[in-house]
Structure 1
Amino acid sequence: MVVLGIDAHKRSHTVVAVDDLGRKLGQRTTGTTTDDHLAMLTWAEQFGDERMWAVEDCRHLSRRLERDLLGAGERIVRVPPKLMAHVRDSARSYGKSDPIDALAVARAALREPNLPTARLDGPAREVRLLLSHRDDMVAERTRVINRLRWHLHEIDPSWQLPPRTLWRPKNLAGVTARLIGIDGLVARLARDLVDRCRDLTAQIRALDRELEPLVSRLAPNLLELPGCAILTAAKIIGETADVTRFRSRHAFARHNGTAPVPVWSGNHERHRLSRIGNRQLNAALHRIAITQAHYHPQAREFLQRRRTQGDTKTESIRALKRRLSDVVYRALQADANINHDPAVTAAA
């Protein structure tokens, strides 16, 4: 088995081939067009038919490369950047370059046999793109509101503005009414910011309407989970990117950062919070856990039992998130089976 590690960039890709012992067989730097990728594939054929491509997990740089290689029937695994750093530190070579990084990718893929495999983009990417665009709109609206608040404070420091809800149409209409008859540059800028906030709110609501039927079709079982609404489900779908690429619920837990990290020696077993894994996916599971901790009887009972056993509040929430990871994994597996059913696909 020959592993071809790739260090991907905007203008060039560097590939290094290694054998099953990690010994370097060759290297090549190529461009980033489809023709360049096919030429790289032709170059790789000299090492035999038993090969695997390993790409650093930075899909904004490697998406076209992965699509071209998958279209040619190649097998690709994604290597987290953290694994590369450890391989570079343990190597005899010093410094950092594209060939060194590509070699680190290949050797990391050899050392870790169960890395996630790359798949062609599907509906999950559409959900991720829509949700990412919505997040950008929400962040921009927050910045607009912050600037608006400072302008309104300058106009009238005694003006009591509603907290956290200034974007609502009723509150924006009240601001517009108060600004009538006030002259000056600050008032004009405030009126412009009010209009901008209205536009952003309209765009956010349009994205919500677009996401709801898409997520409802892709994840009906996930939406039945208490505490998991449309936006949280969309985040899980987009960041998971096809749950079938994970070999088990344990691999999924490691990917989302809910698998506990052992930090004990001796007789007292202890674990700490994991700070690795996909933090966006981890945050979505945390929102579900916090919601269930307030309103779901079974989750409250579980947390109380953990507290009785000696866990702190933080440790009990961490244990709940690990359990929720398994629940989400099973729900995603059930949804994947539904969406892959030919009869359901034909009906859709």
Structure 2
Amino acid sequence: MMLLGVDPHKSTHTATAVDPASNQQAGSLRIEANLAEYRRLLTWGRRWPQRRWVVENANGLGRHLAQWLVARGESVIDVPASATSRVRQLTRGGGRKNDRIDAAAAATAYIHGDGREVNVDDHTTALALLDERRVNLAQARVRTVNQLHAVLRDLLPGGAPPQLSADQAAALLRTVRPAGESEKVRKDLARELVTEIRALDKQLAENAARMEELVGASGSTLMNTPGVGPVLAARLVGRVGRASRFATAAAFANYTGAAPIEIASADKARHRLSRSGDRQLNSVLHTIAVTQIRMPNSPGHAYYQRKLSEGKTPREAKRCLKRRLADHAWRIMIADERRIKHQLPQAT
């Protein structure tokens, strides 16, 4: 088996063949980042019938090439840039760096156990794209509403209420009788902003409906959990991907930043709040926790009240609930993944 390490850049990619038995380089090729050069790279790689491509940062600059190779039946491994950096530091040469060395370092990192297999883009990628789009739409809506508030402050005594919808703003504008040219311009601008908000609201609704459709098609049962709607379920599935990449629920909780970190103490074991981990997933767990706390009949509400009765503060009890929800979400996603895996042979 020949390992073909790839160091991707925006305009060029460099591949180096490394024999895993001897860790010796057997050749190298530099190509431009275009489809014709991709085919030349694949032709070069086919000189080794038993081969495996090892792409550094296959979810970043190497994503297009990695997906192109996977779509043509090639075995592709993703290796993080941190792993190739460690290899360079530990090899002879004092951490010298160039594209050919980086490509070989990616292959060597895989030999040492780093890396994961790259799969064809599926519903997970689609949900991640929809989630990113939703974040951008929500930020655009916040900016537009803030602009509308600024205009309404100059048109209405005291301005508009904090929670302002497009319909409320339109109703307020109907009460405005412009007295001069500047007020006419302000009212026209406010009308334009209301139109933009309505368009953004429609796009957000369509985005949520598409998320719900894809979450259902993916076979996920996360929405059966109280407080988890299509948006939160889509964010969990899209950002986590395969839950089986986490060996335990504790590993997943650590990844989300929901697991407390033990700190050194001479007297007894102490822990502090984790500030690391995926903050987007941490935000999802926080939202679910807050929602369940407000639902009297939910399991999270009962757990939260039990922790309060044990003497914990509301903040501490909420952190405990987030940790419990991280375990629950991991178990649900693992169960979904296994069920779908068993159903695949029947579907084919």
- TM-score, L = length of structure 1: 0.78
Q: Post-superposition shift, 1:65?
A: 1.4
2 CA distance for matches of 1:205 and 1:47?
A: 51
Name whichever of 137-146 and 266-275 sits farther off: 266-275
Alignment gaps of 5+ in structure 2: none
Aligned to 2:11: 11
Structure 2 vs 1, CA of residues 85 and 53 (structure 1 numbering), >3 Å: closer, same or farther? closer
Aligned pairs (5 A) from 1:45-84? 45=46, 49=50, 51=52, 53-59=54-60, 61-84=61-84
Contact 1:7 1:13 in 2 (8 A): yes
1 CA distance for matches of 2:105 and 2:317?
A: 38
Name whichever of 307-316 and 224-233 sits farther off: 307-316
1 CA distance for matches of 2:324 and 2:17?
A: 40
Q: Deviations 1:147-180 (Å, cap 9, x if unpaired)?
A: 1222222334x233121x32x2431222331345
Aligned to 1:201: 201
Aligned to 2:158: 159
1 CA distance for matches of 2:318 and 2:270?
A: 15
Name whichever of 68-77 and 219-228 sits farther off: 68-77
The amino acid across from 1:37 in the alignment is Y
Aligned pairs (5 A) from 1:61-140? 61-84=61-84, 92-94=93-95, 97-99=98-100, 101-113=102-114, 115-140=115-140
Q: Percent identity?
A: 31
Secondary structure class of the residue paired with 2:221: helix
Aligned to 1:327: 328
2 CA distance for matches of 1:171 and 1:219?
A: 39
2 CA distance for matches of 1:5 and 1:306?
A: 51
Secondary structure class of the residue paired with 2:65: helix
2 CA distance for matches of 1:86 and 1:311?
A: 43
Structure 2 vs 1, CA of residues 191 and 337 (structure 1 numbering), >3 Å: closer, same or farther? same
Structure 2 vs 1, CA of residues 41 and 261 (structure 1 numbering), >3 Å: closer, same or farther? farther
Q: Deviations 1:47-85 (Å, cap 9, x if unpaired)?
A: 6725451431534x3332122222343333333445455
2 CA distance for matches of 1:317 and 1:44?
A: 53
Aligned to 1:176: 173
Name whichever of 232-241 and 292-301 sits farther off: 292-301
Secondary structure class of the residue paired with 2:148: helix
Contact 1:219 1:233 in 2 (8 A): no
Structure 2 vs 1, CA of residues 300 and 187 (structure 1 numbering), >3 Å: closer, same or farther? closer
2 CA distance for matches of 1:245 and 1:28?
A: 32
The amino acid across from 1:187 in the alignment is K
The amino acid across from 2:168 in the alignment is N
- TM-score, L = length of structure 2: 0.78
Contact 2:16 2:103 in 1 (8 A): yes
Secondary structure class of the residue paired with 1:192: helix
The amino acid across from 1:160 in the alignment is G
1 CA distance for matches of 2:160 and 2:81?
A: 45
Name whichever of 136-145 and 245-254 sits farther off: 245-254
Aligned pairs (5 A) from 1:14-29? 14-20=14-20, 23=23, 25=25, 26-29=27-30
2 CA distance for matches of 1:190 and 1:15?
A: 56
The amino acid across from 1:145 in the alignment is V
Secondary structure class of the residue paired with 1:155: coil
Q: Post-superposition shift, 1:103?
A: 4.7
Contact 1:55 1:76 in 2 (8 A): no
The amino acid across from 1:148 in the alignment is L
The amino acid across from 2:331 in the alignment is R
Name whichever of 257-266 and 281-290 sits farther off: 257-266
2 CA distance for matches of 1:112 and 1:272?
A: 31
Q: Post-superposition shift, 1:200?
A: 1.3
Structure 2 vs 1, CA of residues 68 and 249 (structure 1 numbering), >3 Å: closer, same or farther? farther
2 CA distance for matches of 1:238 and 1:269?
A: 36
2 CA distance for matches of 1:19 and 1:194?
A: 63
Contact 1:262 1:272 in 2 (8 A): yes
Q: Post-superposition shift, 1:317?
A: 4.5
Contact 1:141 1:200 in 2 (8 A): yes
Q: Deviations 1:240-296 (Å, cap 9, x if unpaired)?
A: 234355555455445444455554376743444445543323322232233334446
2 CA distance for matches of 1:3 and 1:318?
A: 45
2 CA distance for matches of 1:280 and 1:208?
A: 17
Higher Rg of the two aligned structures = 2
Name whichever of 262-271 and 145-154 sits farther off: 262-271
Aligned to 2:38: 37
1 CA distance for matches of 2:34 and 2:314?
A: 52
1 CA distance for matches of 2:83 and 2:283?
A: 22
Structure 2 vs 1, CA of residues 145 and 74 (structure 1 numbering), >3 Å: closer, same or farther? same
Q: Deviations 1:76-110 (Å, cap 9, x if unpaired)?
A: 33334454555556665457654454455444444
Contact 1:56 1:105 in 2 (8 A): no
Q: Post-superposition shift, 1:231?
A: 0.6
Secondary structure class of the residue paired with 2:56: strand
Q: Deviations 1:14-44 (Å, cap 9, x if unpaired)?
A: 2344454895625432233344334334434
Structure 2 vs 1, CA of residues 110 and 326 (structure 1 numbering), >3 Å: closer, same or farther? farther
The amino acid across from 1:40 in the alignment is L
Secondary structure class of the residue paired with 2:213: helix
